[in-house]
Amino acid sequence: MSDRVYLRPTSFIDAPFGLDEQARRLAGGLLWFSAVEIVRVEGRRLAVELLPVAELERRLPELGAGAQAAWANILKPRAPLALGSRTVRLDQPQVVGILNTTPDSFSDGGRFEGGEADAGFAMASAGAAIVDVGGESTRPGAKPVWEGDEVTRVLPVVQRLAASGTAVSIDTRKSVVMEAALGAGAGMVNDVSALLWDERSAGVVAKAGCPVVLMHHQGDPETMQQAPHYERPVLVEVYDWLEARIAAAEAAGIARERIVVDPGFGFGKNVQHNLQAMNGLSMLHGLGCAVMIGASRKRTIGAISAEAPADRRLAGSIAFALKAADQGVQLFRVHDVEESVQALRVWRAMRDCALTPG
């Protein structure tokens, strides 16, 4: 793998006016960039060469078919996601509200007990484009939940939200739960195992024709934070792993435009791994899929903030969200919907101002 080339858009600019040959638009979104890092792996380190976009395009033939495909993916606009009758545009940041129906989630376990659907309505009202309903905790050390219990937890919530017209995603690793939730009106599957935990899952998603989130992970929730280790730079391993999962999903009949990738912040990654992945997120656009980030209230924030508990990590969560927005990430999975929507609206307003001539 040492001779492989990766491309990472960088040197983002306020606006492209008068810079037709010097700037390119990232994935049909609100960001324009003027340079690209050509990234190669040398042992456990990255070798980086920075090129203006015009120079990169002149050199593409010598960089090989993989780099040419990644470049085309970087420039290709992302198609909107269709969640039932709801359409979620990916040319702008979108918030995905986290709605746990579990008693033991790391941040809000039991918080909504008895009022989960009302909490979902509040998230949608506050600006969440999608409400992501989960019935099994995947925090470090969590044990699997029987699928019957998981269905019992999520189904009434999914039914109420979907009946109201809310775009709903089901956060599960299990095909039985996927089928039940999709039948109740969920329009997307968010699988932290990237369709690996249950061999039927890929077929369920393909048959439903719905979007799916494939998340990178190392190990399972019970063991993933026990000394996570990477042989190569973490972002490269994440990229290659997600590329393989995209290929497997396509082979199962899932169209690439319905695939969202998530680098799996905190899933088999220590603080340094998480920060390295966050710093290099824009490289993932070379996969040709929308990107979702789920850094909200994660332990990394506490680790660099005097061990702040989960309910005091809002500022760090917003910092990570804005860093991701600055690299073209389209979807933001968050606990604090109102605050995150406000932060991203201010970010969007600055982009709109920069892109308005005069």
Q: Is 295 exposed, middle or buried (0-12, 13-18, 19+ CB in 10 A)?
A: buried
Active site residue 333: yes
Q: Which of 172, 185, 211 is nearest to 290 (CA)?
A: 211
Catalytic residue among 174, 245, 298, 299: 298
Angle between helices 234-251 and 271-279 (to 10 degrees): 70
Active site residue 298: yes
Enter the DSSP assignment of 180.
H
Buried b (16+ CB within 10 A) or exposed e, 175-186: bbbbbbbbebbb
How many whole angstroms separate alpha carbon 142 and alpha carbon 225? 11
Catalytic residue among 160, 173, 333, 351: 333
Q: Which of 107, 112, 104 is nearest to 161 (CA)?
A: 112
Q: Which residue is associated with the tokens 């039991």?
A: 110
Amino acid, res. 77? P
Which residues are designated catalytic?
298, 333
